[in-house]
Structure 1
Amino acid sequence: MKRLVLLTALLVLPELALAQGPQPAPGRDGPARPGPGHQGGQRPQSPRPPVTNPPPRPGTGGSQIQPPRPGPGGPQIQPARPSRPQPPRPQPPRPQPPRPVKPLPPHRPGAGRPPQFRPIHGPVFRYPHGYRYRRWVIGLILPRLFLSQSYFYDGYYDLGVGPPPVGYRWVRYGPDLLLVNVRTGRIADIIYGAFY
């Protein structure tokens, strides 16, 4: 009877081992031992699950799987597109504060035309009765008739000429500009051709 049970066990056990399927992969404790159905140098191969990559995070620039397009083939993997650098936006010009007008230095008697002098188109000059153009020179005395508000010229800045010193005034005489001492009437400086 013992022999019959032993014989039955020898016949049934290998079939049970084959029915159980492949053995698990080796763990940390070492290689797996072959099961009872193991033969020779062949190792049972266990099916591995398919490898899938996790989906890329948005904005990381990884490859993206596109849905299948009509036609043959499955999904197509598109390479990551490089991001285009944005050109710098031009900044609007900042308003500049107005530059202060540099005042002209006072005109020195006898200095003549300053380097920044520019003649201007002046109104027609009307000589008083009995006078006509005369080319004055420094040191002469201008008649008192011309030492009045009618002949004083205060637009010297337009000519690029500095203000007159204290006690002097600019006087227009025809096309010329005379620097005159208002107390004595003596001509201290002359700029010829100041007006055209």
Structure 2
Amino acid sequence: MKRFLLVAAGMSLIVPDIALAYGQAGPQRPPDRPGRPDRPGGGPAIQPPRPGTGGPAIQPPKPQPPKPQPPRPRPPGTGGPAIQPPKPGPVRPKPPLPRPPKPPKPWRPGAGKPPNFRPIHRPGWSYPTGWAYRRWAIGLFLPRLFFATPYYYDSWWEMGLAPPAAGYRWVRYGPDLLLVQIRTRRIVDVIYGAFY
């Protein structure tokens, strides 16, 4: 009886281990016979792992969607719709370019006041002793007395006048402005009322 209990106790310890090992490894099959139709070559069959046995699960690869390809223009005569270039819209005429303004005619001595002339205010002018206002005209000769710094007028640009040519000078005489040739003292242009 003691032997029976010892054998039973030993079997109770060994049997669960054997059952566990048998369950993980699966049932053993005899080696495959050559020439079976389900196993080409007659070799051992490879079994996929069973779920829940603890081995890594092999997932089949997921199919990737195809990448879109841009349409390619087909050569003529291959069939199918060909990609046509966009048709140009209606041609609109461009507006005419504005004409540049006509340049003003160059002011020349003796032509009177230039178009952009503007009189300016200046303090009173004192005549030399024995002189009074006289209306000078083109072609007359100005006395040498007025060919001095107090009578020269160099701010001609303030009135919109052109600079005097070489050998000429603007001279103020009362409210008038005279363009005089220095060498001959001849008056070539007069602007009346240049000062007020």
TM-score, normalization by structure 1:
0.45
TM-score, normalization by structure 2:
0.45
Q: Which of structures 1 and 2 has the bigger CA Rg?
A: 2
The structure with the largest helix share of the pair is: 2
